Amino acid sequence: MASSLPVKKTMNHTCQHCGESIVGNAYRVTSEDEGIRLLDMIVCSLCFMEAKRLRLHAEEINVRSRQASARNRESHHPRLGI
């Protein structure tokens, strides 16, 4: 069973998919099924292009901002213990 990743207060500028340093723009890749968040990753530009090829939702984010966007704040809910 998949679960969403917790939101970090600070970002270390490392791609959560390939592990490489993010140089330049960072992107958030998400996937949901019936309202359940299955994937929520901050990725580099190469992994962003792969996510788009796979038709996953991906958007550019501002890694220098600590405040989540309004859309992201609404989508994060406390996780249930497994």
* Structure confidence by residue, pLDDT tens digits, 22-53: 999 999 999 999 999 999 999 999 999 999 99
Q: Which residue has the higher pLDDT, 71 or 43?
A: 43
Whether pTM exceeds 0.85: no
Checking if the pLDDT of 78 tops 50, the result is: no
Report the pLDDT value the prediction gives residue 62, as an integer from 0 to 100. Answer: 84
All structural domains of the chain with their residue ranges = 1-64
| Cβ neighbours for 43, distance < 8 A, ≥ 6 positions apart | 15, 16, 17, 18, 22, 26, 27, 28, 29, 51, 58
